[in-house]
Structure formats: C-alpha cells, structure tokens
C-alpha cells in the first residue's frame, strides 16, 4: 500500500520566496458562493496556496474566504492575474484586484495571456470581459501594443509592495525568449503558469523555463472541466493498483515532475483528497508519462486570439 500524505512541499521562486507545490485552482468556482466555500475548505484542511484571476470573477469570494479563514495571511500564498484588457495599466488593475480580494498584497501577479485586448468597445466600464469587434472577432491589439510593453510596466510592481513577485501565464518558449531579450527586461518572471497534464506534458517548456529560473505551474492539471483524464485507462489502472483515486495519481505525477500543480474543485471531499499525494513507482510514473505518446497530445484551452498565435 502506498502512503498518501497532505502535500506540504514547497519550491523556491527566483525571488527567494517559497511556493507550496499544490495549490487550489479556482477557475469556474464562481457560481453562488462556490469560490468562498472551496477556499474555506481548502485552507481548513491544509492548503496554503490559492490561485485566482481577475477574469474568474471570484476575487471577492476568494479574498473573503482567505480573510475569514483564521489562517495568518503570511502563511498563505495568493496569486491573481492581470486581465488582457488592462495590459496598459497593470498597477491600476492590481489595485482593483486587491480591493476586490480585500487584501493588502498578493504573493504573485501574473500576466494572464501574452495578448492585449482593446477596451474601446466596452461601454459599461467593466473591463473584466472579452471585447469583440463589429465583425465578432476578439479585439486583439496587435500593432500598437505587445506583451513586452506590458512586462515593462509589470516590472514596477514588486517595488510597490502590492505584489511580492511577478510572472507570466500561457507563454511559449519563443515568447519567453523575446521577453527576456527585450532591452527593457530587468526582471526574469518568477513563474509561467500553463496548461499541463498527461495529454500535454510540455517537457521542453518545463526544461527551458527551469533553465532560466522560471518555475512552472500546471493549470487544468486533470484535463479541465469534468476532469476527462480521470477516465483514462492507464490512469484508472495505476489508481486501482495503488488503491488511490485517479485524481491522486495525476496530481502525484505532476508533483513528482518538480513543478507546481493547481487542481480545481468545488467539492469538499475532492478538495480534501486532491491535497493527498504519494510517490509513484518508476513503472507507474513512466506509464502515466507515456499516455500522450500513445494517444497523442491534446491541448484543451485554446482561445482564439487571432491574429496573435500564442503557442508557437
Ligand atoms: P468539481 O469542481 O465539481 O470537483 P482541472 O483542475 O484540470 O481544471 O479539473 C477541474 C475539473 O475536475 C472540475 O470539473 C472538477 O469538478 C473536477 N475534479 C476536481 N477534482 C476531482 C476529483 N478528485 N475527482 C473527480 N473530479 C475532480
């Protein structure tokens, strides 16, 4: 029998701060008080890392749960993200996030996508949306703005104390190379949060980021909505063999690969179980790693940012 334990391990960021390797994802934890209840449960059972984003529309619930939890603020690692319509003014966006969260600072502020969206068609002032042009396409700013300009502005944020660290999300190797090579680059991102799971193992991206001192975080680690990976044959076999759940197999596989993993759940029992991981045998680890080689790779989160193509 394998030993399942609450995962308390941390990884050091290039800022010197420690980040817990298992964090609670909160994308789609928005309905009613789903986000509030999930974060309260998570903090109660031992999670010390909560991931949200302005566009998830749940910062209010998430922050309230953090504040109501009784866990000292400095024991919780909190991440939120800059939405694409606010890339021209990340400081203002972060201040708004903190107001919604009811927090004085976050531990990590990420550029959500390497894409800027023009807010010009937004009439009601709510920037947390996806503006579209008259032809129905997303209003992507391609000629007059880019992620390098956004990063230059984000680099001013750690000195304000509003965030302890800054990072990026959904960045490919080529886009990171461009960012690091830009003349205005002074800070190496602490983090790159990307879609990552057994059907999208991203080994090359992980190796590249680690070589630059950038930690990787896996979003949609179970395959996103409804966790399609948990009905995959090999994962079920490994789960049965070890007397654990399929989710525990997948989350443990992520942990063993040496990065941060952000399983999302609003279900109390799953929140408890998802923090408990074990060490896979080499045979089981290799079997899970092999799934994408047999079934082919599959990216699930592919928004249309044309003409910008993020994953090249
Ligand atoms: P729920 O929130 O109802 O638990 P990902 O982390 O890859 O984005 O996956 C999230 C999806 O996986 C959600 O549909 C979530 O549903 C479901 N999920 C999370 N943990 C488990 C688990 N332990 N077993 C089954 N499904 C899970």
Q: What's the mean pLDDT when you consider all of the chain?
A: 97
Residue 56: closest CA among 93, 83, 92: 83
Residue 117 lies in a domain: yes
User: Residue 133 — very low, low, confident or very high, per pLDDT cuts 50/70/90?
Assistant: very high
Q: Which residues of 167-206 are buried (b: 16+ CB within 10 A; e: fewer)?
A: bbbbbbbebbebbeeeeeeebebbbbbbbbbbbbbbeebb
* pLDDT at residue 10 in the model: 98
* pLDDT at residue 292 in the model: 98
Residue 169 pairs with which residues in a beta bridge?
193
Q: Looking at 15-19, 110-114, 134-138, 210-214, which range is the least confident one?
A: 134-138
Residue 266 lies in a domain: yes
Residue 261 lies in a domain: yes
Contact 163, 185 (CB under 8 A): no
**pTM above the 0.95 mark?**
yes
What's the domain count of the chain?
1
Tell whether the model's pLDDT for residue 219 goes beyond 90: yes
* pLDDT at residue 307 in the model: 93
* pLDDT at residue 1 in the model: 79
For 18-48, write each residue's pLDDT tens digit.
999 999 999 999 998 999 999 999 999 999 9
Residue 216 pairs with which residues in a beta bridge?
192
CB atoms inside a 10 Å sphere around CB 39: 29
Report the atom number in ligand 1 closest to the C-alpha of 248: 23
Tell whether the model's pLDDT for residue 4 goes beyond 90: yes
User: Residue 183 — very low, low, confident or very high, per pLDDT cuts 50/70/90?
Assistant: very high
* pLDDT at residue 143 in the model: 85
For 257-278, write each residue's pLDDT tens digit.
999 999 999 999 999 999 999 9
Residue 308 lies in a domain: no
* pLDDT at residue 142 in the model: 87
Residue 306 lies in a domain: no
Q: Which residue CA neighbors atom 27 of ligand 1 most closely? A: 227
Mutate to test the pocket of ligand 1, among 245, 267, 273 (most ligand atoms within 8 A of CB): 267
* pLDDT at residue 123 in the model: 87
DSSP 122-160: --SS--SS--B-TTSSB-EE-SS--HHHHHHHHTTHHHH
User: Residue 239 — very low, low, confident or very high, per pLDDT cuts 50/70/90?
Assistant: very high
Q: The CATH number of the domain where 106 resides is what?
A: 3.20.20.100
* pLDDT at residue 289 in the model: 98
CA 244 remoteness from chain centre: 25
Q: What is the mean pLDDT of residues 166-170?
A: 98
**Domain coverage including residue 241:** 5-295
Residue 33 lies in a domain: yes
Give 277 Cα–ligand 1 centroid separation in angstroms. 15
Residue 310 lies in a domain: no
Give 26 Cα–ligand 1 centroid separation in angstroms. 11
Residue 309 lies in a domain: no
Contact 179, 189 (CB under 8 A): yes
* pLDDT at residue 121 in the model: 86
């Amino acid at each position: 029998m394998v030993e399942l334990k609450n995962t308390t391990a941390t990884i050091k960021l290039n800022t010197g701060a420690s980040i817990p390797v298992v964090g609670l994802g909160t994308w789609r934890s928005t309905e009613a008080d789903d986000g509030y209840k999930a974060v309260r449960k998570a903090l109660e059972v031992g999670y010390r890392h909560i991931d949200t984003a302005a566009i998830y529309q749940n910062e209010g619930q998430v922050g309230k749960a953090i504040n109501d939890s009784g866990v000292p603020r400095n024991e919780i690692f909190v991440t939120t993200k800059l939405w694409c319509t606010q890339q021209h003014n990340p400081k203002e966006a972060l201040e708004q996030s903190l107001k919604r969260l009811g927090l004085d600072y976050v531990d990590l502020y990420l550029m959500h996508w390497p894409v800027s969206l023009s807010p010009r068609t937004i009439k009601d002032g709510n920037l947390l949306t996806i503006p579209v042009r008259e032809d129905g396409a997303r209003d992507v700013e391609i000629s007059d703005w880019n992620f390098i300009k956004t990063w230059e502005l984000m680099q001013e944020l750690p000195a304000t104390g509003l965030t302890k660290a800054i990072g990026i999300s959904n960045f490919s190797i080529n886009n990171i190379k461009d960012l690091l090579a830009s003349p205005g680059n002074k800070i190496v991102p602490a983090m790159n949060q990307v879609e990552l799971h057994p059907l999208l193992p991203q080994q090359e991206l992980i190796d590249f980021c680690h070589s630059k001192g950038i930690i990787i975080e896996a979003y949609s680690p179970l395959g996103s909505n409804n966790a399609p990976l948990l009905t995959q044959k090999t994962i079920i076999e490994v789960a049965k063999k070890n007397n654990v759940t399929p989710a525990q197999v997948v989350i443990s596989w992520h942990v063993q690969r040496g990065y941060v993993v952000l399983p999302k759940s609003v279900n109390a029992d799953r929140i408890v179980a998802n923090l408990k991981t074990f060490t896979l045998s080499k045979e089981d680890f290799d079997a899970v790693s092999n799934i994408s080689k047999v079934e082919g790779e599959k990216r699930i989160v592919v928004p249309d940012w044309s003409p910008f193509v993020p994953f090249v």
